[in-house]
């Protein structure tokens, strides 16, 4: 009987270890700074604050996320380093974003008239552990309240 039970337990362990993790929860945008200002495009650094509801520590690398404010494409946020994500805790994802200066300026001016911005994030990142990474989709849509 123990001989038959071992393969079943091994298969159950493999499936639970490889189960899809819960989505990261977007919290807010922090540490906004202009890195390089240009007439056509500018480089901006931001910190995207997330919460990891999973029981496990993960690693994130090679993120590429399209950022939209009020359904207007602002730019592509990228991260080319590796970041450790704590289990059941919040963390800050530092990204660099190249934006169209005119579009970003127009969107920010219109945002000053409204107390909140509809923000949409779409893209992907590599999520993994112990050197094994899988491409993972990033999708978020919500409101960002300006303070």
State how many domains the chain has: 1
- 37, part of any domain: yes
What CATH number does residue 27 fall under? 2.60.40
- 82, part of any domain: yes
pTM of the complete model: 0.74
The low-confidence residues of the chain, meaning pLDDT below 70, are 1-20, 108, 111-112, 146-147
CA–CA gap between residue 90 and residue 30 (Å, rounded): 13
Question: Rounded to the nearest 10 degrees, how much is the dihedral formed by the CA atoms of 98, 21, 60, 132?
Answer: -130
**Structure confidence at residue 87 (pLDDT):** 92
**Structure confidence at residue 111 (pLDDT):** 65
CA–CA gap between residue 116 and residue 130 (Å, rounded): 40
- 16, part of any domain: no
Q: Which residues constitute the domain of residue 63?
A: 22-145
**Structure confidence at residue 13 (pLDDT):** 47
């Amino acid at each position: 009987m123990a001989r038959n039970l071992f393969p079943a337990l091994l298969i159950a362990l493999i499936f639970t270890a490889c189960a899809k993790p819960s989505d990261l929860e977007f919290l807010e945008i922090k540490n906004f700074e202009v890195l390089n200002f240009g007439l056509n495009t500018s480089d901006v650094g931001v910190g995207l604050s997330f919460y990891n509801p999973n029981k496990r520590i993960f690693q994130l690398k090679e993120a590429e996320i399209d950022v939209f404010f009020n359904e207007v494409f602002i730019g592509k946020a990228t991260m080319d380093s590796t970041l450790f994500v704590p289990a059941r805790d919040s963390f800050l994802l530092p990204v660099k974003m190249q934006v169209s200066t005119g579009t970003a300026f127009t969107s920010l001016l219109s945002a000053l008239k409204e107390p909140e911005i509809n923000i949409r994030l779409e893209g992907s990142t590599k999520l993994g552990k112990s050197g094994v990474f899988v491409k993972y989709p990033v999708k978020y849509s919500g409101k960002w309240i300006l303070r």
